[in-house]
Amino acid sequence: MSTPTASELPAHTGNGMNVDTTYKSCKRLVQKMNDTHADDAHRVWMRSTDQATTTPVKGRVEGKFLGEIPQWLEGSLYRDGPGVLNIGDTWYHHVFDGMAVLHKFSIKVRGFMSTFAGPDLDGMTDNCAVNVCFYGDQLFAMTETNKMRRVDPADLKTVGDKTNITNYVAVNMATAHPHVDPDGTVYNMGNSFMGAKGPTYNVIRFPPKKTLPSGKVLNSFEQATVVASIPCQWKMRPCYYHSFSITDNYFILVEQPLGVSVPKLLVNHYRGKSFMQAMDWIPDAKTKFRVVRRSDGRVLKADYQADTFFTFHAINAFEEDGHLVVDLCCFDDGAVVNQIWLENILEPTETFNKALQATPRRYVLPLNTEVNSVLQATPGKNLVTLQGTKCTASRDKNGAIYCQPEDLSPHCMEMPRINYRFNGKKYRYSYGFIPTKGLNCGTHYTSTTYPPPSLVLPSTLFRFKWQLPHFEVSIHLIE
């Protein structure tokens, strides 16, 4: 089955909802769901939380633990994701478009909670279905636009109105994968579509809350500032990026050739089309690493390039001996974004399966130091002197630093996690989901579940199940 074209799909609203102009399209989608076998793994993607249980889980629910939990384990685990795929006869057609369902597992009080965020069709979506993050002591559900929702960590109820980042800094959208320094400072990246120099990628700093001499308390957003701006290489078509990397001294953005057409974005908003319908793959373009110095916000002059690839998730990055080491989960191109329509998931093809295969890769970027001048190096000379890596980087005839990676694993991997205490530092372990069997860490598979990103805890191996009304939650932890 080929990917449906824009003309074949129902019209979108500004937040990605497909509004069926005819009931036929909706009925066809529902019929496919009903015809899909219960043990088909692809049905999991189509499952809507308000249909998967006899009684929708909203509010606090007590659960029964099956297995052992370490005595030291105590706290709350927050998860967010697109869990509602239809509202009445109106269906979403893309995996990323479902309405947000925020849930919380409280180990200490043996509780489970979930909330459903209703739709807001005005402007860019505030359907915060991607991630959660603490800004100081305030918990926010996030998506990839300029809007966030503050929620109460105790009961998951929304607190006040939505938070619009644009009210504090000049960005039009931001990622849902910020980084948090040990002192509580949050860093994120966001695009500015309009400006004197055209579109820019911006690093945003959110300090911890601060009490002024007058006694007034400033929250993180009231202190937010743009600490660096990176000009886009494609005018009026900034790239899409889902995450970025950070080290002790640098920010690293992967500028990949999946562009967001600003003119299309503006027109599509009024035509009721989706954000994705403003995205274009730029053929034959190189992927670039844009490196920013944290001390002064300056973009490094070195033009780091690589053969075309696409990434959603950065694994980690660190500095070593005059090099930047950047680890990512990489796709060969951006086809994955245009393949994960729900119709494709119900009828997967070889093209669909291939598009979903991400490989963990390492790139090594040589820094310009007193003993290694990358800007004046002899073309073709390998500038990577780091021990223990097969990565190379050489200056080409145009002055760009051409970087060649090495695969960290022969297996596909996505949803990476690390021990966050090693974020931006040299590390040894990363964790992710690999669709294969026979690994030395063991495997776990059920056809009725789909894994969220893993959570790394300094613990010994243990596993337990949480039995709730109408369904079970399995939690597996390894050291």
Q: Are 385 and 393 in contact (CB under 8 A)?
A: no
d(CA 362, CA 317): 9
d(CA 5, CA 344): 12
d(CA 98, CA 82): 4
d(CA 236, CA 200): 10
Beta bridge partner(s), residue 252: 245, 291
Query: Measuring CA to CA, which residue among 16, 223, 18 is closest to residue 126?
Result: 16
Tokens 């180990």 belong to which residue? Answer: 107
> CA dist 219 to 134, 207, 271, 409, Å?
12, 8, 37, 42
> CA dist 370 to 319, 346, 374, 403, Å?
16, 56, 10, 21
d(CA 206, CA 171): 14
d(CA 221, CA 136): 10
Token code pair at residue 224: 């937010």
Token code pair at residue 72: 């030291």
Q: Are 286 and 363 in contact (CB under 8 A)?
A: no
d(CA 428, CA 47): 36
d(CA 399, CA 381): 12
Can you say whether the dihedral through the CA atoms of 393, 394, 395, 400 is positive or negative?
negative
| Integer-rounded Cα radius of gyration of the chain | 23
Q: Is 177 annotated as a binding residue?
A: yes
Which residues carry a binding-site annotation for Fe cation?
A: 177, 242, 313
Annotated binding residues, as ranges? 177, 242, 313
